[in-house]
Chains A and B, each alone.
Chain A
Amino acid sequence: MRPGGAASDFGLRFRRNRNAVIGAAIVTLVLLTALIGPFFVPHDPNRVNMLAVWRPPDSTFWLGADALGRDVFSRIVVGARVSLTVAMSVLAITLAVGTTLGMIAAWYGGWVDALIMRTVDIIFAFPELILAILIAAILGPGLTTVIIALSLVWWPGIARLTRALVLSLKEEMFIDAAIASGTPVAKIMWRHFLPNIAAPLIVRASIGVGFIIMAEATLSFLGIGVQEPQPTWGAMIRDGLTQLRTDPHLALWASAALGITMIGFNLLGDGLRDILDPRLQER
């Protein structure tokens, strides 16, 4: 194969996949909004203005104002950053913990494997969001709590997937060769296992982002997630729902922001699954 063959093949299949392209466009827009949007918002998202309480959308407040007269547009933009901060933190933590524990379980087997996998089974015995609600209730609300709670419920899936992938790789010739030539275990995992299990893990992660954003929004909606004055889409929808009859702009625009973001990540995840690993089962 010529150099760069695999990469350009990926590019070609990506461009041909309509879901992946639309998803990537939406995700890029959301990422840009989260990264640079907060520097360009028209108002301070936390500035209280009693003269603008529940102001409908106009030329100063593009999407109106909320119960404290804060600009809804600015809060939606900054809310994107909060959402993605949670999603990326949880993803980083769970990928690190999940792949490490999954590889250790598959490599060493025996009681180490049993210990890790029984822990995974126990966490799977609870509906994931209810477990996250339980953890958030104990730790008390806040950004850190949300990240811890969602990490705790999300790593077992990664660990189980990693273990299954490594178990089948272990039988391969090149692993025997690596062992025979005295390669240290850590190096075998880093250099031989990881690159070979990356594709399904990327697919899993990209589908996971959608779930994590939804879970964060749900916790914040229920009031046990990220707290005021930090703007989050979930809390904005909750505040807006009580006012839906007279001032629908808050709930509807925040819902639209959350909905579009979720559609973007789901389309991208679906597309990546089709491109990278057509056989991977949905979960």
Chain B
Amino acid sequence: MLGYALRRIVGLIGVWFVAIVLTFVAVQFVPGDPIVAMLSDQSGDRALEARLRAEYGLDRPLWVQFVDYLRNIANGSFGLSFRYAQTPVSEVIAGGLLITPLLALVSISIAVMLGVLLGVFAAVRQNSWADTAVILVLVTGISIPNFAMAAFLVYVFAIQLGWLPVAGWGRLDQMLLPVAILVIPPTAYIARLTRTYMLEVLSRDYIRTARAKGLRQRLVIYRHALRNTLVPLLTTVGIIFGGLLSGTFVVETIFNIPGLGRMAIESIFARDYPVTMTIVLLFTVFYSLINLIVDLAYAALDPRIRLGQERGT
């Protein structure tokens, strides 16, 4: 187990390094000169241009710039923003640093609990009208993109009924709609998987044995069947989390939430590439950490994984 964990952590550091190299290379391909863009109306001022170029380190050879980039990541400043002159990226994004991870973690927790409950509910009532109704809701929940869902929900709950605010952040009632929109697609996905795995487990011999020895239905479902459903479900949580992180870009933009997702989109339009790349890096680190935790949990539960057999995709 320890060996497996070590191998995974070394792999993780490799992924981070590749992500750092990729974001650095990406900025080199961006069209236009950021310093010229910053100067705008003072573009004739050669002295100022040279001073800015030196300040941002853009007058130095590429490999020195890369070492600077690494150093800035290591000391946590992430370099200087293009949009807010002389301001470190860390200061620009500080306000959103807690909002987005919190939003994502709260949403995934709700989605897992709600999804498993719905899935079990549908599975034990296989082929009944309740099952069909749940499946219909699930397909809709998985299919409709979050911003289209937002249009409907905002229209009904904020505009027609007037129960909830249209946008904003800070108060509890302002969080309800964004969280709901982030939660619905992963909930539907998890519920559908739970239903499928549950039906498979319920057809196994040990379930028949449990029933034959007279265990009550609830005990069979929650003690015997659910446990064996949760293990394969765990492997998909990482992927679902990736979708949820991308969802924060959209939801934060719609509801005017000052998180990292909205900042990333704004920085793309402002051509503030240091900010864009820092946020992409942070999302990648966050995503890979969640995946590491999921994989370690899975390995702890299933010895075949840590003994070196690859998990099927």
- A residues whose Cβ falls under 8 Å from a Cβ of B: 121-122, 125-130, 133-134, 137-138, 140, 160-161, 164, 210, 214, 217-218, 221-224, 234, 237-238, 240-241, 244-245, 248, 251-252, 254-256, 258-259, 262-263, 265-267, 270, 281-283
CA distance A122 to B288 in the complex (A): 11
Given contacts A126-B19, A133-B264, contact A252 B269 (CB under 8 A): no
Q: A164-B313, A262-B145 are in contact. List 13 more A-B contacts (CB 8 A).
A: A138-B29, A218-B145, A218-B250, A221-B250, A224-B268, A245-B159, A255-B147, A255-B148, A259-B145, A262-B143, A263-B143, A266-B143, A282-B192
Question: Does A161 contact B151, Cβ atoms closer than 8 Å?
Answer: no
Query: Which listed residue (B19, B193, B269) contacts A223, Cβ 8 A?
Result: B269
Q: Does B34 contact A (CB under 8 A)?
A: no
Shortest C-beta distance, B240 to chain A (Å), equals 11
Question: Does A122 contact B15, Cβ atoms closer than 8 Å?
Answer: yes
- B273 / chain A contacts, CB cutoff of 8 Å: 137
- B250 / chain A contacts, CB cutoff of 8 Å: 218, 221-222
Query: Which listed residue (A130, A164, A240) contacts B312, Cβ 8 A?
Result: A164
Question: Does B26 contact A263, Cβ atoms closer than 8 Å?
Answer: no
Question: Does B288 contact A125, Cβ atoms closer than 8 Å?
Answer: yes
Q: Does B116 contact A (CB under 8 A)?
A: no
Annotate B272-313 by CB proximity to A: 1 below 8 A, 0 otherwise: 010010001001100110000000000000000000000011
- A126 / chain B contacts, CB cutoff of 8 Å: 19, 280, 284, 287
Q: Does B150 contact A (CB under 8 A)?
A: yes
CA distance A124 to B246 in the complex (A): 14
CA distance A267 to B264 in the complex (A): 33
- A265 / chain B contacts, CB cutoff of 8 Å: 143
**Could you write out 25 A-B pairs with CB less than 8 Å apart?**
A121-B15, A125-B18, A127-B242, A127-B283, A128-B246, A129-B242, A130-B246, A130-B249, A133-B246, A133-B249, A133-B265, A164-B312, A214-B145, A223-B265, A237-B147, A244-B166, A248-B159, A255-B149, A259-B144, A259-B145, A262-B143, A263-B139, A265-B143, A270-B139, A282-B196
- A258 / chain B contacts, CB cutoff of 8 Å: 144-145, 148
Shortest C-beta distance, A86 to chain B (Å), equals 14
List the 3 shortest-distance A-B pairs measured between CB atoms, nearest first: A129-B246, A127-B242, A255-B148
CA distance A255 to B268 in the complex (A): 25
- A238 / chain B contacts, CB cutoff of 8 Å: 147
Question: Does A244 contact B268, Cβ atoms closer than 8 Å?
Answer: no
CA distance A266 to B141 in the complex (A): 11
- B312 / chain A contacts, CB cutoff of 8 Å: 164, 281
